[in-house]
Amino acid sequence: QKEVEQNSGPLSVPEGAIASLNCTYSDRGSQSFFWYRQYSGKSPELIMSIYSNGDKEDGRFTAQLNKASQYVSLLIRDSQPSDSATYLCAVNSYGNKLVFGAGTILRVKS
Amino acid sequence: SAVISQKPSRDICQRGTSLTIQCQVDSQVTMMFWYRQQPGQSLTLIATANQGSEATYESGFVIDKFPISRPNLTFSTLTVSNMSPEDSSIYLCSVEDREGVNIQYFGAGTRLSVL
């Protein structure tokens, strides 16, 4: 069974703080990793993709990948109330398919 | 990224009826996917739809319940057949970006309620 696991939260951080979201996966053959943001009542929106071990930065977002530990994380710096959403970790499985985690609810308090 | 139009955006249906959801993309794409998101849950893949071949269904989903058409590289439909209240969910189509690696972009979704 291919699984992607996330802490469901909610994760509460004050405005301006760093939010750290974590994800583990079970399929060692996975090569592509994604973070999606989903606002309530909306569809998932891609915010980060990462394919190699290490860090990838895009604005206030940093994705971190450690394939040996089967671990992916997303850091959000200078968190804003508009970052409050559910963050979905997705991992490719069997080629083109994606397996999604259950999502972590992030709440940024002003 | 591709622009994806999905309709209807929402519908309320009676038990035993069927609903067809349409997904239109503004560019040709090879891979299209249909997902279900039940209330408070994450996304579950229903099937992968490739143009010119039958859809590939995931465990727990069958063609008789969720028939899919993919007549060309920009369009697909998902039908939810013989609906029951348990089919009340958000149904999402996604496409794989031809320039990316496994990157998928989603339509706005169809919110279905079955009475």
Question: Considering only CB atoms, which chain A residues are within 8 Å of B109?
Answer: 42-43
Number of alpha helices (DSSP H) and beta strands (DSSP E) in chain B:
0, 11
Mutate which of A97, A104, A105 to disrupt the B interface (most B C-beta within 10 Å)?
A97
The CA-atom distances, in angstroms, between A77 and each of A7, A59, A62, A74, A104 are 19, 9, 8, 10, 17
B23-67 pLDDT, tens digit per residue, is 999 999 988 999 999 988 889 999 999 887 889 999 999 999 999
Smallest CA–CA distance, residue A28 to chain B, in Å, is 16
The CA-atom distances, in angstroms, between B83 and each of B14, B15, B49, B72 are 7, 5, 21, 27
The total number of residues shown for chain B amounts to 115
Token representation of residue B29: 């794409």
The CA-atom distances, in angstroms, between A33 and each of A21, A50, B13, B46 are 14, 5, 36, 20
Q: Is the pLDDT at A94 greater than 90, yes or no? A: no
